[in-house]
Amino acid sequence: MCGIVGYTGAHEAAPVLVAGLRRLEYRGYDSAGLATLDRDRLTVRKRAGRVRALEELLESESAPGRCGISHTRWATHGPANDRNAHPHLGGRGGAIRVAVVHNGVIENHAALRRELESQGFEFHSQTDTEVIAHLIARELETTDDLFEAVQRAMPRLEGTYGLGVISPSRPGEVVGARFGSPLVVGLGEGEHLLASDPVAIAPHTAQVAFLQDGEVVRLTPHDFEMRHLEHGPITPRIDRLDWKPDAVELGGHAHYMIKEIREQPETIVNTCRGRLRRSEATAVFGGLNLSPRQLRRVRRVVFAACGTSWHAALVGEYLIERLADLPVEVEYASEFRYRNAPLDDRTLVFVLSQSGETADTLGALREAKRRGHPTLAIVNTVGSTIAREADGGIYLHAGPEVGVASTKAFSAQVAVLTLLALYLGRLRHLSFPDGLAVIDAIEQVPALLGEVLKTEPLIEEAAGRIASAHSALYLGRDLHYPVALEGALKLKEISYIHAEGYPTAEMKHGPIALVDRHTPCIFVVPRGSLHAKTLSNLEEVRARDGLVISVGTEDDQAVAGLSQVFLPIPEAPEVVQPLLAVVPLQLLAYHVARQRGCDIDKPRNLAKSVTVE
């Protein structure tokens, strides 16, 4: 999806802008461009293709100036070519008054285009964005205040936008505006930045202010000013990114995905820090904004989420029902928002989202709020739209997740849900010793994950057995069923091998028809309550000449004996087994994709944050 970076400060803008675009590359794009201002001299450089192509262009044709905007485009209106790449310019009669970069979709662009053409504005691209540039330019004919001109143009736009705007009449000034597409301001020393994702600007500053819908910001090197279109001037909330300076660097890893898989022991430590209270055998959360009394009244929990977050929610369902004896339903956010799901006044609605910007999940949250329900969010990105709009919630503290294939965020979500199950359980019938046992189990996880990660060479070898497969089945029971779903999603996302996850016992009701020697069956079967019942399913696959790969407890001879490939995880209490069992599946997907030569951090057709319906 498109990315925006803007800069004004003491340094040359172009290198800062290009480095920012590089950090957004993982989001997927097909062209890149920038515009800079050197006093009132505007320079535009853009290219279809990778950011590297833009860098090559800049080597021969520089873009001087200490102020600028840049963009990576993911084509919607008009094909990916140099002409349609952003920035787009606005003005008529040969006067260029403004350069604009835009994320989002302008739904009324055709009508606006006709109107502007009839007034002498010429169009040079097929994009919807060019109407924004001309609308702002038209306002700049009657005011020289860019901030004002953007605010006058905004009400004409229908659809979604995050904007970065500069004008030769306002050297050193960058204006940003948001409606539906994320935008964040970075507050540095003698410099200010604008971005669609804090990842782009994190190396410059940890102080950020997230724009909300209808807000517009003016940045100069030493100052920034924010207004809401209807409510006037606002004092923004400044958030602090609790990221290490190198959090968005590869740091010697071949891909972000493998870096983030390997970070998981530390992720769990960070997610659980300060949230375990041994003296009461429970968990504590700062931001739920609901008292124990209110939470005890809850009779039902609904989780709404998408993709990997939906899988984490399913683990949460099993855990909360097991530890807190509370009915849980897990909904696809995209379905929930339009479905007439009955919710009574004792239903608590949670949404889960790594990015906090997923349009479907945000829609589900807004629908639940509209119906008057208290809404809570489990989110990774501090200050994101979902985090702000929910009535309360829990941050994952997993640090920035750059890999499109979510890994450490899943683990952090499952860890939070384990703590939530403990907390809700202790508000109900879960005994003190049983609560302590959960705490003991969680505290072991980082060290046990370290053990799992040591098996990577074995997993890399196993990947060779499925790298040429066309299809794979992932099977797990109880808490491991969602883990199987997540393993299958990881494989299909980055290696493009078709994969399906099923509850193990469901296999005999249909999927078993697929089993032959070309179809790997990956069983998630650590020792636990349903372990014995799964062994017969392994036998069934063996009997049909299928390839059995299993993730099991390290000394489990029964499972190992039935498997062609056995991937061990350490012995651990059942409630934390999903946190361990998912890691071999993440590593398996990674190494299969690597062996198939796939672009792991930029998988085809996918975006890290899906901000469209």
| Cβ neighbours of residue 196 closer than 8 Å, sequence gap 6 or more | 2, 3, 4, 5, 24, 103, 162, 181, 182, 183, 184
Residue ranges in 561-580 that form contacts with ligand M6R under rule CB under 6 A: none
Helix axes 129-139, 146-153, angle to 10 degrees: 120
CA distance 588 to 464: 9
Q: Which residue is nearest to ligand M6R (CB)?
A: 307
Of 309 and 519, nearer to ligand M6R (C-beta) is: 309
Of 58 and 202, nearer to ligand M6R (C-beta) is: 202
Three-state SS at 215: strand
Sign for the CA dihedral angle at 123, 128, 130, 135 comes to positive
Q: Print the binding letters for residues 370-399 with ligand M6R: x by CB under 6 A, - otherwise.
A: ------------------------------
The answer to whether 406 contacts ligand M6R (rule: CB under 6 A) is: yes
User: Which range, of 352-360, 425-433, 455-463, 476-484, touches ligand M6R by CB under 6 A?
Assistant: 352-360
CA distance 2 to 24: 9
Q: Which residues pair with 101 in a beta bridge?
A: 164
The answer to whether 609 contacts ligand M6R (rule: CB under 6 A) is: yes
CB of 488 to ligand M6R, least distance (A): 11
User: Which range, of 48-56, 237-245, 277-285, 604-612, touches ligand M6R by CB under 6 A?
Assistant: 604-612
Three-state SS at 52: helix
Of 282 and 361, nearer to ligand M6R (C-beta) is: 361
Of 191 and 197, nearer to ligand M6R (C-beta) is: 197
User: Which range, of 186-194, 291-299, 313-321, 355-363, touches ligand M6R by CB under 6 A?
Assistant: 355-363
CB of 412 to ligand M6R, least distance (A): 11
> Tell me, what DSSP letter sits at residue 106?
B
Three-state SS at 23: helix
Residue ranges in 487-506 that form contacts with ligand M6R under rule CB under 6 A: 493
The answer to whether 103 contacts ligand M6R (rule: CB under 6 A) is: no
Q: Do 337 and 369 meet the contact criterion of CB atoms below 8 Å apart?
A: no
Of 365 and 430, nearer to ligand M6R (C-beta) is: 365
Chosen residue from 43, 267, 270, 354 binding ligand M6R by CB under 6 A: 354
The answer to whether 358 contacts ligand M6R (rule: CB under 6 A) is: yes
CB of 606 to ligand M6R, least distance (A): 6
Chosen residue from 234, 505, 530, 610 binding ligand M6R by CB under 6 A: 610
CB of 70 to ligand M6R, least distance (A): 24
Q: Do 355 and 300 meet the contact criterion of CB atoms below 8 Å apart?
A: no
CB of 26 to ligand M6R, least distance (A): 11
Q: Do 486 and 584 meet the contact criterion of CB atoms below 8 Å apart?
A: no
Of 80 and 606, nearer to ligand M6R (C-beta) is: 606
The answer to whether 611 contacts ligand M6R (rule: CB under 6 A) is: no
Q: Do 12 and 202 meet the contact criterion of CB atoms below 8 Å apart?
A: no
Q: Do 279 and 271 meet the contact criterion of CB atoms below 8 Å apart?
A: no
CB of 601 to ligand M6R, least distance (A): 12
Given the residues 2, 67, 272, 521, the one annotated as active site? 2
Q: Do 356 and 305 meet the contact criterion of CB atoms below 8 Å apart?
A: no
2 catalytic? Reply is yes
Of 135 and 409, nearer to ligand M6R (C-beta) is: 409
Retrieve residue 605's tokens.
């057709």
Amino acid at 537: N
Chosen residue from 8, 72, 125, 353 binding ligand M6R by CB under 6 A: 353
Of 37 and 579, nearer to ligand M6R (C-beta) is: 579
Q: What is the edge-to-edge ordering of all strands in the sheet holding 547-553? A: 498-503, 471-476, 520-524, 547-553, 565-569
Residues in the chain: 613
Sign for the CA dihedral angle at 485, 488, 492, 495 comes to positive
Given the residues 46, 408, 490, 608, the one annotated as active site? 608
First to last CA, the chain: 13
Residue ranges in 274-333 that form contacts with ligand M6R under rule CB under 6 A: 306-309
Q: Do 226 and 236 meet the contact criterion of CB atoms below 8 Å apart?
A: yes
Of 311 and 373, nearer to ligand M6R (C-beta) is: 311
Of 216 and 416, nearer to ligand M6R (C-beta) is: 416
CA distance 341 to 338: 9
Q: Which residues pair with 4 in a beta bridge?
A: 71
CA distance 401 to 558: 37
CB of 256 to ligand M6R, least distance (A): 12
CB of 313 to ligand M6R, least distance (A): 10
67 catalytic? Reply is no
Residue ranges in 512-541 that form contacts with ligand M6R under rule CB under 6 A: none
Chosen residue from 361, 495, 563, 611 binding ligand M6R by CB under 6 A: 361
Q: Do 481 and 503 meet the contact criterion of CB atoms below 8 Å apart?
A: yes
CB of 501 to ligand M6R, least distance (A): 13
CB of 522 to ligand M6R, least distance (A): 17
Residue ranges in 1-40 that form contacts with ligand M6R under rule CB under 6 A: none
Chosen residue from 268, 404, 420, 572 binding ligand M6R by CB under 6 A: 404
CB of 356 to ligand M6R, least distance (A): 7
What are the DSSP calls for 139-201, one per residue?
HTTT-S-HHHHHHHHGGG--B-EEEEEE-TTSTT-EEEEEEBS--EEEE-SS-EEEESSGGGT
Q: Among the residues of 25-145, which ranges form H helices? A: 51-60, 109-118, 129-139
| Cβ neighbours of residue 340 closer than 8 Å, sequence gap 6 or more | none
Of 385 and 504, nearer to ligand M6R (C-beta) is: 385
Catalytic positions: 2, 608
Note the residues at the interface with ligand M6R (CB under 6 A). Answer: 306-309, 353-355, 358, 361, 404-406, 493, 606, 609-610
